Structure 1
Amino acid sequence: MSPLVIGLLYGGVTLVVLFAGVPIAFALGAVAVAFMIGFMPLASLGTVAQNVYQEIANITLLTIPLFVLKGAAIGRSRAGADLYNALYVWLNRVPGGLGVANVVACTLFAAMAGSSAATCSAIGSAGIPEMRRRGYSPGFAAGIIAAGGTLGILLPPSITMILYAVAAEQSLGRLFLAGLGPGLLLSGMFAVYAVLRFRKEYRDAATAGVEHPILRRDSYTMAQRMSALPRILPFLILLLGVMGALYGGFASPGETAGLGSVLALALIAIIYGAWRYSDLRPLLVASVRESTMLLMIVGMSLLYSMVMSYLHISQSAAEWIVAGHLSPWLLLMAILLMVVVLGFFLPPASIILMTAPIILPPLRNAGFDLIWFGVVMTIVMEMGLIHPPVGLNLFVIGNIAPDIPFRDVMWGTLPFVGIMIIAVALICFFPGIAMLLPKVVMG
């Protein structure tokens, strides 16, 4: 049987198992073991546990449970609501300041939590009810939180970027730095859209000639603004402490993750009094569950990739791509289109670990910087978090605001998908948006 036929069978069986509702880690592991039995020597089954363990023992992956713990500590306390409220006090004079405050809060929270779902949940639980109370349309309120939450997989410490660094064998520090410029670019574009959308909804409400909550403007004294600053200061200390340790050369990524989790636990203990076992137990349980899920997906995905390589599926696919003699940019567009399609069905972690053996060699041969591509691929995968049918952030919004129809949530996020496409185009035309900071800091 040719590698092409085996590859089509391999991919087809995987999709069938995934669509059957089997959890991703078990689906990938079961398909890999089944093809090992059918197409590889039976002795290879004895190496399954060893191979999975060796892959999970990668020192870079140690950062995942620590960053998850850091995100859980912040996301499961009142920290998100306090951060959001303090920002609104300072931004309320900006047209659409409430929407801009949501974007800024998501940006800061993402830079501390490293998780899209945690960012979306923590900021959305306070932001969506407040925006709706002040007259913003439900779709806009849901869309801006869902889109802001996607920054959790782009801004460091992004768990998705950690997995990409492992799969692509690239420097995690350089990858984190490369994500900062595009992350701030997206934040700025989201904020501009929030202002423009607010003005449209404000005009519509004013034209209607009836009293509408969006027409009311709050005002805060300077004393009130200054009193809100202490609620932002602990987050800045945490953010600057972690970033300074990592990029100042004082700590490795693993040590930085440990420092971040300790600082986050200290923050919620001092500021919110969450130091008792009853306070810490929910976030510890959540951290263990999410870390176990991610590491299981990592281990089984790499086993899946190993079987793919042994059966020459990934090599044949790479050769087929190269044989097409596509220009470098057409090759990039074809690969990104494939990532978009996979985003309809799979989460970012699975997309990275399943496709890396196939797409990275042709891209490297075409002259693309794999750090730069990791940023572009991450933004494309962000789209998958806010478009159906999987759209993880859409389901998070559904839990936060179950009374907002799914159709409104979906239409509210589509403009942000368009913004992400524009951002990808800008980074392709001006790669320095991503690559300037790593070159300046790390050479």
Structure 2
Amino acid sequence: MIIFLILATLLVLLFTGVPIFAGLTIYGGAMLYMFEGGLGGISGVIFNQVNEYLLVAIPLFGFMAHIMIKGRVVDDIYDTAYTFTRHLPGGLAIATILACTLFAAISGSSVATALTIGAVAIPQMLRFGYDERLAYGVVAAGGTLGILIPPSAPMILYGVSTDTSIGKLFMGGIVPGILMAGVFILWASFRASRAPNMTREKMAGLTEMGQALQKSAWAGTLPVFVLGGMYLGVFTATEAAAAGAWLALLITVFIYRTVGLREIWEAAIEAAQLSGLLFMILAGATVFSHVLTMMRVPQQIVEAMTASGMGRIEFVLAMMALIIVLGMFLESIAIILITAPITLPAMIHLHIDPVWYGVLLVVNLEVAMITPPVGMNLFTIQAITRAPMSRIIRGSFPYVLLMLLTLLLLVAVPQLVLFVANNTVGVR
């Protein structure tokens, strides 16, 4: 089939070391030149895709995340989580996952979550006698929650690519994110309970718990404010990003007093750099998907599916398997932008809910974050610890299996995704 030949050729090009945005643009431009004999109109195609109001949410959420990181609020989040869990088997591991869950709702980035929480949590777990593979796996897996629990840049790009409500995608990611965190906690607690040299502390008193909650209360208000505003229909996703950025400034500048003009400028630069990279990849993917549409590749896929009698579940499982393979070699944003326009006609044909599919896609991309050879969270843990990659992979492997089992559960029970998304007041 022509689509497999096209994707194989693109992968070969990307394996040469060409940046993803350049590879997509060059390959798409070359195909367009061969197909039409010129590149006329390509600038208009790119402009129409990038000139999208919803994309403003990406730099705003990025700015919000970098402000909170520079404000060093993660220490309070982690300390509060540990205060409540330190008496449990694997209390530090549980606190790490809880801190990842909350920080994911602030950062929207898996790498940022793994890096920020890991720098605090891994030394602590090793000091308290945790097996190093358990420590590495907990942070690597917990960090993946950054792109599932809203806000999420991959969800925004998927929503823009498929014309799906970003607000509903965000709401749809809440239950799967909490479910995934719960599965991680159960496994980490089980593993820790079997360790012979584990150090545990006595249960914190009510006064100490209250003080810990008070200390991290402001950090916890940010995800509640952003997600609550979208849930109640007060904000669109873009408006929530702007409101969240302002609240992040209020918390870090006037309450924590850990951020000044220099840190604000640095956060703005870092958010702009990340957004610029994402938009360049989006521009390249737009050229590539435009050529595929002109070649009627999506329509050919629908026709092939109709002829084979493939049903909704079979299609979803086949796509999930393909994305697992692609995730071993490509960055998650590229996977979304390459596959979403191709699969959209098939999804419409099979009456697949785009919110459900979008959340399944993001869960699948989480798996890619801790799957070699290009699992970004694996490299993040290695950067923190300087540990051999083989140990980090072994520590992360059980979580890959847990995530795949959770993915199958979400495929079997779509309401775990759709109940909140479809019953949210005024979400846009």
Q: TM-score range by the shorter chain?
A: over 0.9
Which amino acid in 2 is paired with 1:72? H
Unaligned runs of 5+ in 1: 206-211
Out of 32, 35, 39, the position equivalent to 2:35 is 39
**What whole-Å deviation, never above 9, does each CA across 1:113-150 have from its counterpart, x for those lacking one?**
11111111111110111111111111111111111111
Match of 1:29 in 2: 25
Label 1:131 to 1:218 Cα distance change in 2 as closer, same or farther (>3 A): farther
2:322 corresponds to 1:338: yes
Paired with 1:128 and 1:136, the residues of 2 have a C-alpha distance of: 9
Could you tell me which of 310, 327, 351 is aligned with 2:335?
Answer: 351
Answering whether residue 102 of structure 2 is matched by residue 108 of structure 1, we say yes
Moved more, 108-117 or 223-232: 223-232
SS in 2 for 1:46: coil
Once the 2 structures are TM-superposed, how far is the Cα of residue 222 of structure 1 from its aligned partner?
4.0
Amino acid at match of 2:136: A
Distance in 1, matches of 2:360 and 2:44, equals 33
Equivalent-residue separation in structure 2 for 1:317 and 1:366 (angstroms): 12
Q: Does the residue aligned with 1:441 lie in a helix, a strand or coil?
A: coil
Aligned-residue RMSD, C-alpha? 1.7
2:10 maps to which residue?
14
Residue identity matched to 1:134? F
8 Å CA contact 2:76–2:215 kept in 1: the answer is: yes
1:81-120 aligned within 5 A: 81-120=75-114
Q: Where does residue 208 of structure 1 map in the other structure?
A: none
> What is the aligned counterpart of 2:345 among 349, 361, 367?
361
Asked if structure 1 preserves the Cα contact closer than 8 Å seen for 2:91 and 2:200, the reply is: no
Residue 40 of structure 2 aligns to a residue whose secondary structure is helix
1:218 Cα shift? 5.1
Match of 1:50 among 44, 48, 60: 44
Contact 1:75 1:121 in 2 (8 A): no
* Conserved 8 A contact 1:346-1:390: yes
Instruction: Quote the offset at 1:237 in angstroms.
Output: 1.5
Match of 1:155 among 149, 153, 163: 149
Matches within 5 A, 1:216-227: 216-217=200-201, 220-227=204-211
Q: Which residue of 1 aligns with 2:283?
A: 299
Distance 2:151 2:420 in 1: 16
How far 1:272 sits from its partner (Å)? Answer: 3.6
Higher mean Cα deviation, 125-134 or 275-284?
275-284
Classify the secondary structure of the residue corresponding to 2:58: helix
Deviation sequence 1:400-426 (CA, Å, 0-9, x none): 111x22111101111111111111222
**C-alpha distance 216-187 of structure 1, shift in aligned 2 (>3 A):** closer
Deviation at 1:307, TM superposition (A): 1.1
What are the superposed Cα offsets for residues 4-37 of structure 1, whole Å, 9 maximum, x if unpaired? 45x4553233112211111111110111111122
Tell me what 2:268 maps to.
Answer: 284
| Per-residue deviation, residues 282-317 of structure 1 (Å, max 9, x unmatched) | 322211111111111112112210011112233223
- Normalized against structure 2, the TM-score is what? 0.95
Letter in 1 for 2:87: R
Q: Tell which deviates more after alignment, 215-224 or 102-111.
A: 215-224
Task: Tell me the distance in 2 between the aligned counterparts of 1:94 and 1:364.
Answer: 47
**Pairwise mapping of residues 88-237 of structure 1 onto structure 2 (< 5 A)?**
88-201=82-195, 205=196, 212=197, 214-217=198-201, 220-237=204-221
CA offset at residue 221 of structure 1?
Answer: 4.5
What amino acid sits opposite 1:225 in the alignment? M
Is 2:320 the counterpart of 1:324? no
- In the superposition, relative to structure 1, how do residues 313 and 10 fare at CA in structure 2: closer, same or farther (>3 Å)? same
Deviation by residue 1:222-276 (Cα, 9 ceiling, x = unmatched): 4433332233201222122112222212222111110111111221212442443
Question: Among residues 357, 363, 367, which one is paired with 1:383 in the alignment?
Answer: 367
2:118–2:384 CA contact under 8 A, matched in 1: yes
1:436 aligns with 419
Flag structure 2 segments of 5+ consecutive residues without an equivalent: none
Conserved 8 A contact 2:64-2:107: yes
Amino acid at match of 1:31: Y
Which position in structure 2 is the counterpart of 1:407? Answer: 390
C-alpha contact 2:89 2:200 (8 A) present in aligned 1: no
Change (3 A) 1:216 1:11: closer
CA distance 1:63–1:130, shift in 2 (3 Å): same
Q: Work out whether residues 174 and 442 of structure 1, in 8 Å CA contact, stay in contact via their aligned partners in 2.
A: no
Mapped contact 1:76–1:122 kept (Cα < 8 A):
no
The partner residue of 1:374 within 358, 368, 386 is 358
Same amino acid, percent of matched pairs? 33
| AA matched with 1:419 | L
- Structure 2 partner of 1:59: 53
Note if contact 1:72-1:118 (Cα within 8 Å) is conserved in structure 2.
no
Q: Which residue of 1 aligns with 2:64?
A: 70
TM-score by length of 1: 0.92
Distance 2:145 2:4 in 1: 34
| More displaced 10-residue stretch of structure 1: 241-250 or 155-164 | 241-250
